[in-house]
Structure 1
């Protein structure tokens, strides 16, 4: 390997424009020797660059030279004013300049009326596009599930049972626990309000209607939206990031049949079970409050509940459960399949999945309420 010559420079201010004359090899081995001296240069005008006696040059040397030229106001367009001939100097300095140039300032945010209307329009079109894509995925899912139900030997029972355990049985304790305390809260609120009217006994009806019709199934849907949706989206999204889904398709397997359908069917089966347990736990919380605070014997509580609250209120709540479970699984699977190749896209898809599921549950519950009100139930 040939010996390198230490880099040196000199300033020639005899011309109308200051010339920076470079000699020696400006490479990473020795460029630090002139770094401090170059930082002290304070040219009054943009520098010209004389490379007639310049030896070897690498990116480290080109960076130091570009930094000096930029500090003097030269080479703002990445093309320095060069004197002499060098095989790589001009090209290498221009490349380093392009890479190390500071990022352009962000454009000022337009806060006028037209900009507001534009952002509103873009947001509305995004909502329309998301709705259309979700409906398309819904149709594909329904077709896939219906085809598998007509051909049950193609169902992946191992996957279905595994999802039933993971998303159903494992969620049973937390749903029962939360519903129990929600029932206690509702009973306490009812007892406090009705005591002023001397009608504490009607706390039984309050617990019966609220738990059978609303709280049991809605609380189940909210827990599934936070727990199961994030799990499904993360699982499928991770497979998408690792290109496992692409490998699956290469083997002739359909992701809709292998990943989506088992989760849909498992949630259709387990959500009514979870809602039933949540309803019982909420009623149990009301019984505890009635017994301890209102002196209502549990036997009297249950008998009054059976005689004053119609059974159709129970079926109103249970009719919502499969719909909530289906919607949660549908949103989770779709967002999981939309994950790209980055971790950021996985986090965004998981957040979107949970938010969309929560919104869908509350909106569907409102639609169910309007529907049953029109039916007089």
Structure 2
């Protein structure tokens, strides 16, 4: 270790080469010199595992931090615990500095971008696994609560369920009908444009019926409910969490799952199939209007073709997906509400997360259902 023996702050003990003798004033006035000395000694290869602090003159927080960086948090904590080495006030100061530096996050890794990328992939994979496990656990608790409620009709919260149905279904009828009507009209225009080149414009009716009965009605309604209702569930429960109202419910001996979650889930399971049915009718009506105006297919002919060429099983397949989508949307919205930490920012973050997750899960489940139906030749 060069210049240690001549340095006025640090030297090696003549009896023990691995012991440093600290002397002088370790204060803010000598910070620049002490900083360079500390950096030079930490880069030196000569080991040291002991230190003598009894010869220190003045000491303040800046000097204590540099001294802790030089000796390390573990050695400094050991020295601070030695009652004979230092006065009590210095032991407390150095112990707190050592604990503070020891709790700080480690410096960023100097590894390459590939290692950092793999690390981030691993972190996100673990986070995804934890999230899926939490979602499945929350869904299991909800199903268990609903099953228990079937055996105890007196615990049903009919008023809450009816109020939620009004907010979810009745207030959304207009927007669902308008949206599906316009999409039905667009599909009819596209079908007529493409099929006219083959002289098969009559099959535009089949295109509209198949697309809305099997896919578009339930998918558009579910996506609309994900943006409208899942966000509302998260915001409502999250605001209650932030205002400690959920803690008050638990204090009263009540279960927030039965009061806040189950009525919303049941209302969503009732509402989404009803809205899906309205979306089917409205979408086909929009297609029928375009067929009547642009393709000279009268409403009577439209209904006749619909009755002859489209089997009722397509209606059943579309409606069968609605309760599943409803359950997933309601579960995700309620779960994200319970994750709110307590601030308005947290409410906004989890509301956005609920919408994104709900739309993603709905589209994923719809794709899986389409593959399953295709393999089953339904």
- TM-score, normalised relative to structure 2: 0.73
How many correspondences in the alignment? 297
In 2, Cα distance between the equivalents of 1:290 and 1:269? 33
Q: Where does residue 122 of structure 1 map in the other structure?
A: 123
2:190 aligned with 1:189? yes
In 1, Cα distance between the equivalents of 2:338 and 2:286? 40
Q: Where does residue 323 of structure 1 map in the other structure?
A: 324
Give unpaired runs (5+ residues) of structure 2: 1-25, 36-59, 64-104
- The residue matched to 1:341 in structure 2 has which SS? coil
In 2, Cα distance between the equivalents of 1:237 and 1:375? 42
Give unpaired runs (5+ residues) of structure 1: 1-47, 50-65, 81-103
In 2, Cα distance between the equivalents of 1:208 and 1:109? 59
In 1, Cα distance between the equivalents of 2:241 and 2:111? 38
- The residue matched to 1:234 in structure 2 has which SS? helix
In 2, Cα distance between the equivalents of 1:219 and 1:75? 68
2:374 aligned with 1:373? yes
- How far off its partner does 1:78 sit? 4.5
Q: Where does residue 21 of structure 1 map in the other structure?
A: none
- How far off its partner does 1:107 sit? 5.2
Q: Deviations over 1:138-186 (max 9, x none)?
A: 1100000111122121011111001000011111111111000000111
Q: Deviations over 1:64-108 (max 9, x none)?
A: xx9xx79x969987548xxxxxxxxxxxxxxxxxxxxxxx9x958
In 2, Cα distance between the equivalents of 1:292 and 1:79? 83
Q: Where does residue 349 of structure 1 map in the other structure?
A: 350
In 2, Cα distance between the equivalents of 1:286 and 1:345? 43
Q: Where does residue 270 of structure 1 map in the other structure?
A: 271
2:184 aligned with 1:204? no
In 1, Cα distance between the equivalents of 2:261 and 2:191? 43
- The residue matched to 2:286 in structure 1 has which SS? helix
The 5 A counterparts of 1:24-103 are 78-79=61-62
In 2, Cα distance between the equivalents of 1:272 and 1:109? 55
- How far off its partner does 1:343 sit? 1.8
Q: Where does residue 232 of structure 1 map in the other structure?
A: 233
Distance 1:296 1:242, change over 3 A: same
| Dislocated runs of 4+, deviation >2 Å | 72-80, 106-111
Distance 1:118 1:295, change over 3 A: same
In 2, Cα distance between the equivalents of 1:176 and 1:318? 16
Distance 1:122 1:308, change over 3 A: same
Q: Which range is displaced more, 194-203 or 297-306?
A: 297-306
Q: Where does residue 55 of structure 2 map in the other structure?
A: none
In 2, Cα distance between the equivalents of 1:75 and 1:286? 81
- How far off its partner does 1:224 sit? 0.4
In 1, Cα distance between the equivalents of 2:170 and 2:33? 70
Q: Where does residue 17 of structure 1 map in the other structure?
A: none
Distance 1:241 1:111, change over 3 A: farther
- The residue matched to 1:196 in structure 2 has which SS? helix
Distance 1:75 1:251, change over 3 A: farther
2:145 aligned with 1:144? yes
Q: Where does residue 133 of structure 1 map in the other structure?
A: 134
- How far off its partner does 1:351 sit? 1.1
Distance 1:140 1:180, change over 3 A: same
- How far off its partner does 1:302 sit? 1.2
The 5 A counterparts of 1:246-265 are 246-265=247-266
- The residue matched to 1:299 in structure 2 has which SS? helix
Aligned residues: CA RMSD: 2.8
Q: Where does residue 17 of structure 2 map in the other structure?
A: none
Q: Where does residue 290 of structure 2 map in the other structure?
A: 289
In 2, Cα distance between the equivalents of 1:110 and 1:177? 55
Q: Where does residue 5 of structure 1 map in the other structure?
A: none
- The residue matched to 2:125 in structure 1 has which SS? helix
Q: Where does residue 63 of structure 1 map in the other structure?
A: none
Q: Where does residue 340 of structure 1 map in the other structure?
A: 341
